[in-house]
Amino acid sequence: MLKHLPIYACGEIVRGFGRGSKELGIPTANLSLEAVKSLPDSLQTGVYYGWANVNNGDVHKMVLSIGWNPFYQNKEKSVETHILHDFNCDLYGQILKICIAGYLRPEQNFDSLKVLIDTIKSDIDSAKSLLDTVENKMLQGNSFFTNKLEKFLIC
| pLDDT tens string 34-60 | 888 889 888 999 999 999 999 999 999
Q: List CB contacts of 102: < 8 A, sequence separation 6 or more.
A: 2, 5, 48, 49, 50, 130, 136
How confident is the model at residue 70, as a pLDDT? Answer: 62
Share of the chain above pLDDT 90, in %: 63
pLDDT for residue 21 is more than 90: no
Catalytic residues: 80
Q: In the predicted model, what is the mean pLDDT of residues 118-139?
A: 97
How confident is the model at residue 29, as a pLDDT? Answer: 94
pLDDT for residue 152 is more than 80: no
> Burial, 112: exposed, middle or buried (Cβ in 10 Å; 0-12, 13-18, 19+)?
exposed
Would you place residue 147 in the very low, low, confident or very high pLDDT band (cuts 50, 70, 90)? Answer: confident
User: What backbone phi and psi angles, to 5 degrees, belong to 33?
Assistant: -60, -35
Q: In the predicted model, what is the mean pLDDT of residues 112-137?
A: 96
Q: In the predicted model, what is the mean pLDDT of residues 136-142?
A: 96
Would you place residue 20 in the very low, low, confident or very high pLDDT band (cuts 50, 70, 90)? Answer: low
Would you place residue 97 in the very low, low, confident or very high pLDDT band (cuts 50, 70, 90)? Answer: very high
Domains of the chain: 2-154 (2.40.30.30)
* pTM check: above 0.85: yes
Average pLDDT of every residue of the chain: 88
For the chain, the straight-line distance linking the first and the last C-alpha, in angstroms and rounded, comes to 15
Torsion of CA 57, 18, 65, 29, to 10 degrees: -10
